[in-house]
Structure 1
Amino acid sequence: MNDAVNDQTIDAATKIWATDNPPSAKWPLYTRGNVGEVFPEVVLPFTWDLIGQAAEDGWREAFVRMGLVAVGDFDDDEPMTILSVFGGYCYINASYVRMLGVRAPGGDVATIDQTFFGGSDAPAYVERDGDKNRRASLKLAATVLRLLNTKDLPALRADKVKAERFASKYPSATADGTPASDQQLLDYCRSFPPFFQSLFARHIENTFSDALVSGALIDLVNKAGKDELLVSILGGIGDVESAAPAEAMWELSRLERDDPTWERGFASFISRFGSRGPNEWDLGSDPWDFRPEMAKAAIDAMRPVADDRSPMEHQRALIEARDAAVAEVRSALHRIDRFQFDKALAATIIFSQARERSKTTVIAAIHAVRRAQRALHERAAARGGVQERWKSCLLNVDDFTAYLVDPEAHIDLIEQRAALHGRLSTLTAPFIVEGVVPPIDSWESAASPAGVVAVGDVLEGIPGCPGLAQGRARVVLDPADPRGLGPGDVLIAPITDPSWTPLFLAAEAVIVNVGAVMSHAVIVSRELGIPCVVSVAGATSAIPDGALVEVDGNTGSVRVLEMP
């Protein structure tokens, strides 16, 4: 592989980064939407070599179980179709995900685009031979009926037990106390893909099940003529695991650092949530377990926030608003529709919770493998290898295996890839790729300013969580550096993952450049009761730090009231 950046026109077969694959010829439309929260940064080769194909296969497995897949959908010569990597950045195949809108009874492509990809400028869907498939539609109809009657998901509990068992098999030492060998640790890493595939298939099935049942719910809300109540109906459902770390951090923020309870509480927090953190799906990233100072900084950012803004208080208000909205919609529906509405609402709550719970299980299993990789890295570093752990993840699994034997022989390759990684990290990957990956020299710099707003301007996005708030814009590009974010501020972020969640509680409202109705920022803000608008294109560069803005989480609008 040539690891130098080629600034000439890049065709579909050219690799820019070690993890790249060409776009699909049959399903050519891709987006960074949604997956940009899972892999916000350049994907490291060790991670993708270990779980990339397993993720693709797990996704297909979930779609087969749901009934979406038709004969001939996937070509044997395109092993990576639903997930792909271009220029180091992960993409979802929008062409194929749109089939859920085409083949599901009552579905439509526009809803799928809005649900998963937000306000992107994706080209309009054009129907092709084979897109509609009666057999797939019948299977999906049966799936929707099954989902609407779901009362419990015991498989989630079983997966959690399996993940705990997998973590317990971590080869820290042999029976006589001798440290585990390199080979034992490598074998542990190599054993992960089949298990990851099964966990990931469950996560994808829960995610798209949520989309199907919430689609049924949305149809009934529309039928009642109460579209404006949808955001309230989806808020404050409770027991959403993505919000749990922030809630635990809030409790710790009420304690002083010199309180003996603080240290015990923080140790318990790391034990429970240590696998979470920035870019947590990538094995080369450091979670709170490895860098507890990140969690401490987030907790400290919450300290100035008044007690009456606790997540519990927020959620009480959300529950009251949701109950009122549900009652209003039910009163506008006929008896049979009310019955269907109740089933759709119950199922939406179950699968919204399931989506986040299955993600938590996957992340816990990934962290067990991350621990093994770190142990191997430290041994190689002591023998002359690179000191930064993420750099050792610039090698694929086979190269990493050879690196453990002779670390110094791989230093040049690692540093070449580190330089390329640095270059790609300064660029903003195209949000949409259609058939051909645009040349690198056409990608925008991540530092490129957008047009700056003026007083009175209104930026439009997608409603995330209801509520109206005013505050000073605090543009934060790194959750580890909240730049003094506190009460009275509106958090403006490029994209969010769980490492951002604690900052929500320190803000009056949240604005995110990208996202959709199933994005992390929306899910968490609805649980914490923070007004939120996502898919506000270029917000981090268009809105100056310190500007006074009004955020309307009901309509998805952001109004500039005063410039700094």
Structure 2
Amino acid sequence: MPPLSPGLDPLDNAVCDPGVPWTTGNVAEAFPGVSTALGFTFIHLPMELAFRKMFRGLGVFGRDELTVPERIEDQFWTAFAGRAAANIEQFRKVAGLLPGTSATAVEQQLFGYVREGTVDDNSARRYPVIAVKAPRSVLTLSKRHDRMFAQLREWRLDTLPKVPGLNLDGNLAVLRDARERFERIMILHLLVTFISSSVADRLTAMVSDAGRTGLEARLLSGVGSDENEVAQDLWLLAHGQLDLQTFVDRHGYHGPDEGQLHSVSWREDPAPLLARLDDYRAIPEGDPRAPRNRSAEQARIRHEAAEELKKAVSPLSRGLVGPLVNLSARFLALREQGKAGYLLTFDVARAAARRAGHQLVELGLLDDATDVFHLTWDELLAGDGIDRRVVIKERRAQYEERLRYRLPQAWSGVPELIAVTADATENAPSGTTISGVAASGGVVEGRARVVRDPATAEFDEGDILVCETTDPSWVSLFLVAAGVVTDFGGMLSHGPIVARELGLPCVCGTEDGSARIRDGQLIRVDGDRGVVEVLAGAAGER
């Protein structure tokens, strides 16, 4: 891939210590695809600081670790060839300092796999500080998270109507505000992520000790995530019980590739969600597939699994099962709420950025309003009147070039880029098995639908969703899918959480399932064993 001119590329790291391991695992789900210059520089430093402030609040970090290191090897995340990547070594170091979890557990739950030969290196040196600071942070977290999320909803609805009438300085002020709010919600969201990982790890260990391996998927179902509300409101919209404006006010910050600042939200273009309404209209209120009924059924399954676990554990542990299961449910729901929270900041930021782009066109500094997304944060906020159209042209070309490549799931040092190939044109042989993480129980057979863009997907009732990864905008497909298969993710990733909420068998972390399975093939998804089996070709031949 041809490099940009020196100093023009904020989205790549051409040099990296070959011993440092990286992954696209969980971070690719939050910020999927290729970032633009503004998209990445809008979030990079705030998110890095959010990690550090969160760990400082827990007592894991000291004051001297609140600055962003210059070396990428010492940062929690960065970008290679425009795609987000997480520094496994930094996460493992932190996990080794936290009580109640381990580096291996965090690696498995956040990224979907553990590297061969890894060894935990836990240390208790920070435990005294953690014992003082962590309880207060954890005990107040739930209410603080709910309060901030409610404030973000109100702020979004209050700010969006003002954006068109603001001058350039006013829109840049909105962008600054959105970036600060992004950092604040990420501090809480990342704390929720680590606590939910620790609680889920404790619950998994209890299940294993009781000899009930596999029960954890049911115990982590029916938690009541933000996607439940989206699915229910989509059903109400389809049945004429909710108007479009109300739906957009509530959920319009979602949309295809919503983890990218330059994407188009449902607020801007509701066509992708309107295209799925016929599927929802076909589901009557009393149907078990209706969102509200699915949620109730999954909550029942979780309660039933908890009772089963109580009978399997020792009398001394029996009293811990209920509180631990309820705590897991609460923090998994908060996890999805946190994703919705930072997407609220994105929706306001993209509105302000688009308006600023139009204003820069009027000033003769841009050729097209969308070129604003190929400026860096510092360039946009500089207000120096410099004509950067040559730079932008190079960055736009580089962005288009990067769409042709993806990163491996894991690597050390500088990654070797993988060419994005077209969907499989030949059937995977019948009997082919693809292994992943057993993320949501149940077994289902159906036609595979390999989906790259949920907005254009052709999907029928009973089809099985096969994709690289998902974000909240995919919920419209989940409701009509019979099962889910993803390339990336672990037990606590977005796709598996939503699959469990809707009672769909799910195998995640297959790494290359969407490239090996041909669209239209008959497959069997075994969410209990974490295995996908190809049964027949796309034309129905065995």
Same topology, TM > 0.5: yes
Alignment equivalent of 2:170, drawn from 180, 184, 209 = 184
CA positional deviation for 1:139: 4.9
Partner of 2:257: 279
Distance of aligned partners of 1:390 and 1:30 in 2 relative to their CA distance in 1, 3 Å threshold = farther
CA positional deviation for 1:432: 1.8
- State the distance in 1 between where 2:160 and 2:520 align: 51
Asked if the contact 1:57–1:197 (Cα under 8 Å) also holds between the matched residues in 2, the reply is yes
CA positional deviation for 1:549: 1.0
- Give the aligned residue type for 1:134: A
Partner of 2:359: 379
Alignment equivalent of 1:345, drawn from 325, 337, 354 = 325
Partner of 1:241: 226
Distance of aligned partners of 1:49 and 1:520 in 2 relative to their CA distance in 1, 3 Å threshold = same
Distance of aligned partners of 1:497 and 1:390 in 2 relative to their CA distance in 1, 3 Å threshold = farther
Report the 3-state secondary structure (helix = DSSP H, G, I; strand = E; otherwise coil) of the residue aligned with 1:5.
Answer: coil
- State the distance in 1 between where 2:96 and 2:49 align: 22
- State the distance in 2 between where 1:403 and 1:164 align: 29
- Give the aligned residue type for 2:255: G
Alignment equivalent of 2:70, drawn from 54, 66, 77 = 77
- State the distance in 2 between where 1:243 and 1:395 align: 36
Partner of 2:144: 155
- Give the aligned residue type for 2:198: L
Distance of aligned partners of 1:370 and 1:227 in 2 relative to their CA distance in 1, 3 Å threshold = same
Asked if the contact 2:16–2:414 (Cα under 8 Å) also holds between the matched residues in 1, the reply is no
Trace 1:265-414 onto structure 2 (pairs within 5 A): 265-304=243-282, 307-382=287-362, 389-401=369-381, 405=385, 409-414=387-392
Alignment equivalent of 2:470, drawn from 473, 491, 496 = 496
Gaps of 5+ in 1: 8-13, 256-260
- 2:213 aligned with 1:214, yes or no? no
CA shift digits 1:409-449 (9 cap, x unpaired): 433322221111111111111222312343x5xx3334375
- State the distance in 1 between where 2:265 and 2:297 align: 32
- State the distance in 2 between where 1:448 and 1:403 align: 44
Asked if the contact 1:380–1:403 (Cα under 8 Å) also holds between the matched residues in 2, the reply is no
Alignment equivalent of 1:92, drawn from 64, 86, 89 = 86
CA positional deviation for 1:179: 3.5
Partner of 1:135: 125
- 2:238 aligned with 1:253, yes or no? yes
- Give the aligned residue type for 2:411: V
- 2:51 aligned with 1:66, yes or no? no
Asked if the contact 1:103–1:140 (Cα under 8 Å) also holds between the matched residues in 2, the reply is no
- The CA RMSD measured in Å over matched residues stands at 3.2
Alignment equivalent of 2:32, drawn from 12, 32, 40 = 40
Alignment equivalent of 2:43, drawn from 30, 51, 70 = 51
Distance of aligned partners of 1:277 and 1:499 in 2 relative to their CA distance in 1, 3 Å threshold = same
Report the 3-state secondary structure (helix = DSSP H, G, I; strand = E; otherwise coil) of the residue aligned with 2:520.
Answer: coil
Distance of aligned partners of 1:346 and 1:151 in 2 relative to their CA distance in 1, 3 Å threshold = farther
Report the 3-state secondary structure (helix = DSSP H, G, I; strand = E; otherwise coil) of the residue aligned with 1:287.
Answer: coil
CA positional deviation for 1:356: 1.7
Asked if the contact 1:516–1:535 (Cα under 8 Å) also holds between the matched residues in 2, the reply is yes
Asked if the contact 1:119–1:461 (Cα under 8 Å) also holds between the matched residues in 2, the reply is no
Partner of 1:553: 527
CA positional deviation for 1:161: 4.6
CA shift digits 1:23-77 (9 cap, x unpaired): 7759822110011011111122112223310110011111222233379878843
- Give the aligned residue type for 1:251: L
- State the distance in 2 between where 1:60 and 1:389 align: 35
TM-score (normalizing by structure 1): 0.85
Alignment equivalent of 2:117, drawn from 114, 124, 129 = 124
Partner of 2:405: 427
Asked if the contact 1:270–1:289 (Cα under 8 Å) also holds between the matched residues in 2, the reply is yes
- State the distance in 1 between where 2:180 and 2:450 align: 41
- Give the aligned residue type for 1:322: R
Alignment equivalent of 2:180, drawn from 175, 194, 198 = 194
Asked if the contact 2:272–2:456 (Cα under 8 Å) also holds between the matched residues in 1, the reply is no
- 2:432 aligned with 1:457, yes or no? yes
CA shift digits 1:227-282 (9 cap, x unpaired): 121111111122x1133212211222334xxxxx5xx5221100110111223233
Partner of 2:3: 5
Report the 3-state secondary structure (helix = DSSP H, G, I; strand = E; otherwise coil) of the residue aligned with 2:227.
Answer: coil
Asked if the contact 2:179–2:345 (Cα under 8 Å) also holds between the matched residues in 1, the reply is no
TM-score (normalizing by structure 2): 0.89
- State the distance in 2 between where 1:404 and 1:291 align: 33
Trace 1:462-501 onto structure 2 (pairs within 5 A): 462-483=437-458, 485-501=459-475
Gaps of 5+ in 2: none
CA positional deviation for 1:396: 1.0
Distance of aligned partners of 1:62 and 1:266 in 2 relative to their CA distance in 1, 3 Å threshold = same
- State the distance in 2 between where 1:383 and 1:89 align: 32
Partner of 1:30: 22
CA positional deviation for 1:330: 0.4
CA positional deviation for 1:5: 2.6
- Give the aligned residue type for 2:22: Y
Distance of aligned partners of 1:21 and 1:67 in 2 relative to their CA distance in 1, 3 Å threshold = farther
CA positional deviation for 1:510: 1.0
Asked if the contact 1:171–1:184 (Cα under 8 Å) also holds between the matched residues in 2, the reply is no
CA shift digits 1:373-420 (9 cap, x unpaired): 1211223345556676543201113433578957xx433322221111
- Give the aligned residue type for 1:78: R
Q: Quick check: 373-382 or 491-500, which moved more?
A: 373-382
- Give the aligned residue type for 1:298: R
- Give the aligned residue type for 1:125: T
Asked if the contact 2:443–2:524 (Cα under 8 Å) also holds between the matched residues in 1, the reply is yes
- State the distance in 1 between where 2:198 and 2:129 align: 13
- State the distance in 2 between where 1:272 and 1:54 align: 26
Report the 3-state secondary structure (helix = DSSP H, G, I; strand = E; otherwise coil) of the residue aligned with 1:135.
Answer: coil
- State the distance in 1 between where 2:126 and 2:522 align: 50
Asked if the contact 1:27–1:95 (Cα under 8 Å) also holds between the matched residues in 2, the reply is no
- State the distance in 1 between where 2:193 and 2:347 align: 21
